[in-house]
């Protein structure tokens, strides 16, 4: 599901990566951190940038967190701030709360108090998290290097009912379809196969071309 508005709690390296990629997707983003200098650097880029104590429930509520669709809690090593942020978001009716955890034990605690999804920095980058959350089509995102990635995605509505030959995605979108999956793994791609709403596509692409899809 694509969300209309996001709040990112904590602007360390992971949090900044999330914010930067959400902004590339033209998302409505709120950022919250206790570091005034970091907040200032994002103040002109985001909808709201606030310097607050992330262990204080009233401060979090005061910024209007109840108006946000999706929250990403990025303080992987600060359990108190992470717990408070997750709890307030859930109590305020945020539709989805994603929390970063520094350990499996911390992740279990965050799930216990209501986090809808827990991510681990050693397993998933901020880029991949943001890209997946910001797109209704993307199912998985794998970075191969600084420029190239593999993306598993659902077809756009305009692709349904057409074949790869008709769509000519390589020429029009500069992406290479390496697999089509209609419920089973196939070793090759049939260019004449018709894409349905249940089709998933595995594509190889340059990161700069992702916004085209």
Domains with residue ranges and CATH for the chain: 5-134 (3.40.50.720), 138-212 (3.30.70.1450)
User: Residues of the chain with pLDDT > 90: what percent?
Assistant: 46
How would you classify the pairing of strands 117-119 and 48-51?
unpaired
Look at residue 186 and tell me whether its pLDDT is greater than 60. Answer: no
Mean pLDDT, residues 1-13 taken together = 88
- Cα-based distances in Å from 193 to 53, 160, 179: 55, 11, 11
Any idea what DSSP says for residue 155?
P
Q: What is the pLDDT of residues 82-117, one digit of tens each?
A: 999 999 999 999 999 999 998 888 889 999 999 999
Mean pLDDT score across all residues of the chain = 85
pLDDT attached to residue 84: 94
Look at residue 132 and tell me whether its pLDDT is greater than 90. Answer: no
pLDDT attached to residue 19: 93
pTM strictly above 0.95? no
Any idea what DSSP says for residue 122?
T
Q: How far is Cα 148 from Cα 170, in angstroms, rounded to an integer? A: 15
pLDDT attached to residue 188: 66
């Amino acid at each position: 599901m694509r969300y209309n508005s996001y709040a990112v709690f904590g602007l360390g390296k992971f949090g900044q990566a999330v914010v930067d990629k959400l902004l590339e997707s033209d998302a409505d983003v709120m950022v919250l951190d206790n570091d005034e200098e970091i907040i200032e650097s994002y103040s002109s880029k985001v909808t709201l940038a606030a310097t607050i104590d992330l262990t204080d429930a009233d401060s979090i509520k005061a910024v209007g967190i109840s108006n946000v669709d999706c929250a990403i809690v990025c303080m992987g090593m600060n359990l108190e701030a992470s717990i408070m942020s997750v709890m307030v978001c859930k109590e305020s009716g945020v539709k989805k709360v994603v929390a970063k955890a520094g350990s499996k034990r911390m992740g279990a605690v965050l799930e216990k108090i209501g986090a809808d999804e827990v991510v681990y920095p050693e397993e998933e980058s901020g880029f991949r998290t943001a890209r997946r959350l910001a797109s209704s089509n993307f199912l998985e995102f794998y970075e191969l290097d600084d420029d190239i990635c593999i993306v598993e995605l659902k077809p756009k509505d305009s692709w349904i009912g057409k074949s790869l030959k008709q769509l000519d995605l390589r020429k029009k979108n500069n992406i290479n379809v390496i697999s089509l999956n209609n419920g089973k793994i196939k070793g090759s791609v049939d260019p004449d196969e018709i894409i349905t709403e249940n089709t998933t596509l595995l594509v190889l692409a340059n990161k700069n071309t992702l916004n085209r899809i």
